[in-house]
Structure 1
Amino acid sequence: MRLRVRTKQIAILVLISSIAGGLTGYLGYRSGRTALKQSVQDRMTGIRNAMAFHVETYFDLVRKHALAYNRSVFTTRLIADYVDGFQGLKERELNDVELADLRKYYTDSVLPALERNTGERPSLEHIFPKSKAARYLQHRYLLSAVRTGMAAKSATIVDDSEYGGFHARYDTITKNLKSLFGYEDILLIDVGSREIIYSIDCGIDLGMSLSEAPYASTGLGKAVDRIIERQEKGTVEIVDFEPYLANYGRPTSFLVCPVFEGDRMTGIFAYRFPVDRLFGILSGNGNWDSEGLGLTGEVCLIGTDGYLRNDSRFLRQSQESYAASLERAGHDRESIERMRRLGTSLLTVRYPQSIAEKIARGESGTEIGLDYLGKEVVMSYEPLKLNGLKWGIITKITTGEAFRAVRGYKADLIWTMGCIGIVTSLIAGFLGRRMAEPLCQLRQATRAFSKGFYGVRVRVRSQDEVQDLATTFNDMAAEIELRTEKYREQAETNLKLLHNIMPTIVTPRFRILAGVSADDAYPTEVTLIYTEIEGYDRIFASSEPSAAMRTIRRLIDEFHASTDRFGIEELSTSGMGYLAACGLNEPHFDHTRRVLAFAMEQNRIVARFNETHDTELYLRTAIHRGPIAFGNLGRHSFIHDVWCKTIALARMPNEDQAESYVRISRSVYDRLSDIEEYRFVPEDIVDTEIVWILKSSHILNEAVLRKADRFEDKSRKLAP
């Protein structure tokens, strides 16, 4: 594909600017992307540290509050009164109607609720209270709230027992405590019997023993056993989340703390941790964006088993969308169904185990990976210090949102580079045009000059190499114009001389007739051949003059017939002389070799003619090469150098009178000396120049004839 200089210059300028701009943009983009990524990771780390501090502070606050509250005189008195009141209920029995009502409640409400949440239906006897005190409390406090359709905290409870009096005295105080710290429930446990003697919410665990099924194997039951066994003041046990029967199978966590009167443990408080309070801490009360979590970020608490210890923001926003995301991420259907039943991600959704293992090993860090929803996120994690709980905290946000600024920066960079490219192209086009304009002028001048407008000149003011080139062109054009004018003048002089020294019929052959006007210059050099036929006197002696002339005419006709094959132009056939040239009407760069090949062909024609007509003819041939148009031409100089010299060479005396030969001048020999087949030998000196001769013994040599034949074939291909 041919490209103009202007196009190349524009392409080079655009390419250089594009490479420079692209490289600069790429380095800037890479640097900016790295900085933005580091900024996102630092932001996630900062949020993680802040959230970890909030969670640890909250747990520490609750622990300290429990210790302080349990050491108060009020708490000691409250424990003593509830224990005494509960002891008074151990002999109170429900009548058959009341017992039937309680059983009916378990059958109609408790068992179906447990089945809905856990997927299993336990037997009534397994969960139904066995002690008289437990049945009494659940009938009075649990069923009363259900029957009135109100929460236990506001229900009108009819209890004429001593326990009822204590309940009426202390219940409001403990409920205020629950509301203040956000507990879901507060339980009071008797140390001696390990029975739950008080519950704010009055659930199905009220009055139940933690030393018997179904609560003995729970985390709460085991924590109570450890506290009673240690008998240490200031002990706080935090029970990790686990399905809790009294909470209808929902994940439940407790903070368990003993109450001492002196050195004697009188009771144990169990504070049920609020899931909503934890969620509020981790979400900024639902203001995720203000917490730096955007639309896709969240904070997760996980245990060493990998299961979440808090509700996901996406669950709170849309349970169905959250379930669909879990299904797409490959979570098993059973876990998703359990999440649907319980309405929480606590202990139902599991984070990738690799992160849980790192947290279990005490590692912390920030990295990019897949979260439990199968999305690529920037996550920051670390273990928490929660008084025995092996939890970790993870803050995460999807890379799509986190690196939105990177994509925006990339788009801005591409847009900027596009604008730079357009501006650069316009500037490159302008500069390319200005830079290529002198070359375009030079090209147009060259084309005009090649078409004969020799007076064309180029004006360039670029003060560079192009101006030097234009100056050189102008000088060359002026020189050629001057020489051409001289050649025209010389051509006119030559034409006048030709008319003076040659016959009118011969003169037009020296002019270039085809396609060249009278104003054009003639070719500078041609090669002339002059051949004289010798031995014809015997033909005239043995035949009539007219018959002899016809015989000689046939020989000359054969000469004429072979001229076209070699590009030879016949000039004159006066008498026994034959004058021809090559390079007049049709210019040939190899006209000398063509003429020599034609001379070989003439000798071959004569040899065949002698054999056919039983004659002994031979040829005297001379070949001379010289200029036609030259300076200072006079009449005698032209005749001597162009025509007469050729004829004189042919008529030089020869030792072998009856033998053909070819004489060539020095100018011809210089053109033919490299042809080994032609064995020219120096013969004489004419006008201070050596003349070479090729005699008959070599003219018809097989190698020479083959050379002539090859040249003839080549001439046919080159001839127009």
Structure 2
Amino acid sequence: MLLGVSLVSSIIVGVIGFMSGRESLKAAAIDQLTTIRELRTGELERVMEGVQTGVALDSRNLSAQTASKAFNAGWAELQDVELTAEEEAELQEFYDEGFIPRLEEATGEDFASGGFVPDSSAGRYLQLHYTAPFDGDYDAAHAVMDAGDGSAWSAARARFHDYFQRIVAASDYEDVLLLDTSGNVVYSAYGGVDLGTNVLDGPYENSLLAGAYRDAIASNTVNTAITTDYERYQPSLGVPSLWIVSPVGNDTTITGALAYQIPMSIVNDALTGDERWKEQGLGDTGEIFVVGRDRLMRSISRMLVEHPDDYVTAVTSNGTPPNVAERIVEVGGTVLLQPIDSISVERALEGATGTNESIGYTGTDGITAYTPVEIDGVDWVAVARIDTSEAFAPVDVFTRNLVISTLAILLAVSLLSMVLAQVFTRPVRRLSDAVRRVAGGDLSVQVPAGSRDEFGDLGNAFNDMSSSLRIKQELIDEQRDENERLLHTLMPETVAKRYRDGEETIAEVHQDVSVIFAELVGFDDYAATLDDEEELAQLNTLMRSFDEAAERAGVEKVRTLRNGYLASSGLIVPRVDNVRRAVDFAVELRSVISRFNAQHEASLELRAGVSSGSVTSGLVGRTSLAYDLWGDAVNLAYRVRGVTGSPGIYVSQAVKDRMLEGARIVSAGTIETASGDETVWRVE
């Protein structure tokens, strides 16, 4: 109690100071984070607006217009050129042995070999001369000015390719495409597999590039610049690509469209300040990233850049699927991979701007500042965050000083409290020791309950509980033994153990097992003279006699049917004489039926089949379990049983070959098996 009073007094003083300091520091950290968010988001918006404006300007300058017309004319001329069979095979080989294996390795998906080859003659011609020869070496393809084939298209490339090379070099674009008004890609700076395809009905008709092309052409103005979100672009081996598309032409005529493939570095550099997070005031853990409507990142993660070895563990602890996290580390990027499902993203996607505290995608607590991003064509939000531990580090210093100042006061009171605690906790320790013994299985334990206070009442209650648990445990043990006996009547002990262990699919393959399929002939006619109770009693009498015969012969019963009996020899206990035992058991069943007929004036007969080979045993069903046997040997035993339709004991060729000499057997017919006709033998 003394300790409690001292603690409460110190805690009240500490909490007041702690909360005051925390709120001040929190406000300062949030203000700084908000400022950084506005700066970086504004920088991204300005950069993207500049790129959009640049694409629109490039698409209507004279060089682009002239190039578009020249490439369109060259394309039209190539439409009349047919490739030879050898050239078609060479182009198909490029896809089958080059591009498609690289695409499947990069994406982990399977692709059809014929789905990428352009349909048009011009497209196949251009890929044969400007794509296939370089087999994925895009820098080498980019450096070629003229394939030397003498075509008008190659002449246009020799004239204008340098112009587009300088555009790519100046802005570090991933690719530059020219498309005609029919959707054909008539030029690619890097000679990718999209060269010569049609974005309206070709292999990439469902891409965001195709949608942006449609919107750009439909706008009918060269001032339009349509921006797409990131997509996994197959010609770039599934690397996320962002496109800006603008019509090519002037105020009177549009001859096509110009498409720039924007590198991810433009977005990343604008947000990260060229990966100089600390210099921007984000400390060791702060960052700013953008997220799309699908809740996936559109920029690089700071942790992935600085601590790739810890990335998988960090993000998977907060719900990112392990295969996604490993893929992120493998490709070295988070765009369209890292999910961000936080309240900050949700609010920003709703159009809100604000701050909050939440758990980040790396699993750490942090403060965040969020806002929508104003870029035409994309639906992104920006989130700036920093770990709470770093943002509020000064609070830890303040808290440490406060704790040290109160320790001296608490020390003296604590010593006195420890002495008093011994007096109060002695009965509790006795109860604690008794509880541990009960937990260890000793249900006979009792504790002294001599005092007449609350501890005495607790001791009496514990003793009553211990006695009750002991009685209940005895009842449970009895019920468990009964259940165990019942389970062993339904299935072998080994199967029962696997069932108790929780296995859902239980099946075992057994080699060299003899199977007996016995059928009662005439029981239905005999049962017609009996009432239901008598019929069941007579059938039980027969089945018990069958069970006793199986036990004497060392045969395992599998299951009982109304007019039949399925058993095996060598299934549970492997036996070298399983064939002899199986045949002896069938003979014994015939004797059992004969005795039954004599006792009850019946005329029942036995029709049995014996086979040997591989079988499978296991549990069948889900809500109503049954132990069963199946396989070739079971099927064969069933089939040889009915080879003539007459009563008797019939064995397969495999059984006959292993029977002892001197047994009286005769041929009973043949049956057709997978390996041919097989003779069936009858045991006399």
1:54 corresponds in structure 2 to 43
SS in 2 for 1:152: helix
Q: Aligned partners of 1:340 and 1:91: how far apart in 2?
A: 48
2:308 and 2:88 map into 1 onto residues whose CA distance is 39
Please provide the CA RMSD for this pair: 3.1
1:227 CA drift (Å): 2.2
**1:99 and 2:93 aligned:** no
Say if 2:230 is the partner of 1:241: yes
CA distance 1:403–1:359, change in 2 (3 Å)? same
Question: Which amino acid in 2 is paired with 1:164?
Answer: S
Does residue 399 (structure 1) correspond to residue 388 (structure 2)? The answer is yes
Question: Contact 2:53/2:225 (CA < 8 Å) preserved in 1?
Answer: no
User: Residue in 2 aligned with 1:36?
Assistant: 25
Asked if 1:171 is matched to 2:158, the reply is: no
- Structure 1 gap segments, 5+ residues each: 1-10, 423-720
Matching of residue 158 in structure 1 with residue 120 in structure 2: no
Alignment of 1:261-340 (within 5 A): 261-336=250-325, 338-339=327-328
Letter of the aligned partner of 1:294 in structure 2? G
The AA in structure 1 aligned to 2:197 is M
Which one of the candidate residues 179, 197, 202 is aligned to 1:189? 179
Q: Which deviates more, 354-363 or 51-60?
A: 354-363
| Deviation (angstroms), 1:163 | 1.7
SS at match of 1:151: helix
| Partner amino acid, structure 2, of 1:185 | D
Post-superposition CA distance 1:457-496 (Å, at most 9, x none): xxxxxxxxxxxxxxxxxxxxxxxxxxxxxxxxxxxxxxxx
Contact 2:44 2:270 (8 Å CA) reproduced: yes
- TM-aligned CA deviation for residue 363 of structure 1: 0.5
Equivalent residue, structure 1, for 2:581: none
The 5 Å alignment of 1:689-708 reads: none
Q: Is the 8 A contact 2:40 2:272 kept in 1?
A: no
* Alignment check: 8 A CA contact 2:99 2:136 kept: no
Give the superposition deviation at 1:183: 1.9
Distance in 1, Cα, partners of 2:138 & 2:153: 23
CA contact (8 A) 2:60 2:222 kept: no
Shift of 1:341: 5.7
Q: Is the 8 A contact 1:116 1:341 kept in 2?
A: no
Aligned counterparts of 1:178 and 1:158: Cα–Cα separation in 2: 20
Partner amino acid, structure 1, of 2:212: A
8 Å contact 2:344–2:355 — kept in the other structure? no
1:76 aligns with 2:65: yes
Other-structure match for 2:134? 145
Which ranges of structure 2 fall in alignment gaps of 5 or more residues?
Answer: 411-684
Matching residue within 240, 243, 256 for 1:254: 243
Matched to 2:385, the amino acid is K
Contact 1:117 / 1:248 at 8 angstroms: preserved in 2? yes
User: Aligned-pair distance for 1:250?
Assistant: 2.2
Does the CA contact (< 8 Å) of 2:217 and 2:256 recur in 1? no
Counterpart AA for 1:239: T
CA distance in 2 between counterparts of 1:156 and 1:175 reads 10
User: Which aligned pairs between 1:423-434 and structure 2 lie closer than 5 A?
Assistant: none
**Structure 1 residue aligned with 2:104, among 107, 111, 115?**
115
Find the structure with the greater CA-based Rg: 1
Give the letter for the 1:114 counterpart.
Answer: L
CA distance in 2, matches of 1:25, 1:147: 66
TM-superposed deviation, 1:289: 0.8
Could you tell me how far apart the structure 1 residues matched to 2:209 and 2:145 are?
A: 30
Structure 1 residues 219 and 25, CA gap change in structure 2 (3 angstroms)? same
User: Helix, strand or coil: the match of 1:66?
Assistant: helix
Change (3 A) 1:135 1:337: farther
What's the offset of the Cα at 1:31? 2.2
* Contact kept? 2:288, 2:382, Cα under 8 Å: yes
Structure 2 CA distance for partners of 1:147 and 1:224, relative to 1, 3 Å: closer
Partners of 2:116 and 2:130 in 1: how far apart?
Answer: 18
The alpha-carbon distance between structure 1 residues 148 and 33, as it changes in their structure 2 partners (threshold 3 A), is closer
More displaced stretch, 59-68 vs 349-358? 349-358
- Check 1:167–1:404 CA distance in 2 against 1; reply closer, same or farther (3 A cut): same
Q: CA 1:413–1:309 in structure 2 vs 1: closer, same or farther (change >3 Å)?
A: same
Q: Which residue of 2 aligns with 1:609?
A: none
Partners of 1:407 and 1:179 in 2: CA distance: 50
The one-letter code sitting in structure 2 at the alignment partner of 1:246 is P
* 189, 198, 210: which one aligns with 2:187: 198
CA deviation digits over 1:525-571, x for unaligned, max 9?
A: xxxxxxxxxxxxxxxxxxxxxxxxxxxxxxxxxxxxxxxxxxxxxxx
1:504 match = none
C-alpha distance 339-22 of structure 1, shift in aligned 2 (>3 A): closer
Change in 2 beyond 3 A, CA 1:23/1:323:
closer
Alignment length (residue pairs): 411
Identity %: 27
Q: CA deviation at 1:64?
A: 1.2
The one-letter code sitting in structure 1 at the alignment partner of 2:255 is T
Distance 2:112 2:8 in 1: 79
**3-state SS of 1:358 partner:** helix
CA–CA distance in structure 2, aligned partners of residues 204 and 293 of structure 1: 42
* C-alpha distance after superposition, 1:207-232 (max 9, x if no partner): 11011132111111122122222313
* CA deviation vs aligned residue, 1:340-397 (integer Å, no higher than 9, x gap): 5644211111111533331221011111101222221111110011113111001111
- Displacement after TM superposition at 1:156 (Å): 6.6
State the shift of 1:411 in Å. 2.6
SS of 1:226's partner is helix
Q: CA deviation at 1:204?
A: 0.7
Distance (Å, rounded) in 2 between the aligned partners of 1:329 and 1:91: 58
Q: Is the 8 A contact 1:259 1:266 kept in 2?
A: yes
| Offset, 1:144 | 3.7
Report the 3-state secondary structure (helix = DSSP H, G, I; strand = E; otherwise coil) of the residue aligned with 1:290. Answer: helix
Q: Given residue 252 of structure 2, which amino acid in structure 1 is its aligned partner? A: D
In structure 2, the partner of 1:376 is 365
TM-score by length of 1: 0.53
Deviations 1:303-325 (A, max 9, x none): 12211111212223354432232
**What corresponds to 1:221 in structure 2?**
210
**Aligned to 1:382, what secondary structure does the other structure show?**
strand
Give the whole-Å Cα distance in 2 for the aligned partners of 1:326 and 1:350.
10
Deviation at 1:269, TM superposition (A): 0.9
CA distance in 2, matches of 1:144, 1:22: 77
Structure 2 Cα separation of the partners of residues 323 and 336 of structure 1: 5
Amino acid at match of 2:388: T
340, 343, 347: which one aligns with 1:354:
343
Alignment match, 1:210: 199
CA distance in 1, matches of 2:176, 2:138: 22
Question: What residue in structure 2 maps to residue 498 of structure 1?
Answer: none
Q: Superposition pairs for residues 651-666 of structure 1, below 5 Å?
A: none
Task: Say if 2:248 and 2:255, in contact at 8 Å, map to a contact too.
Answer: yes
CA contact (8 A) 1:257 1:270 kept: yes
Q: What corresponds to 2:334 in structure 1?
A: 345
Distance 2:190 2:138 in 1: 14
- Verify the 8 A CA contact 1:148 1:155 in the aligned structure 2: no
Are 1:230 and 2:203 an aligned pair? no
For residues 416 and 82 of structure 1, the distance between their equivalents in structure 2, rounded to whole angstroms, comes to 81
Once structures 1 and 2 are overlaid, which stretch shifts more, 168-177 or 380-389? 168-177
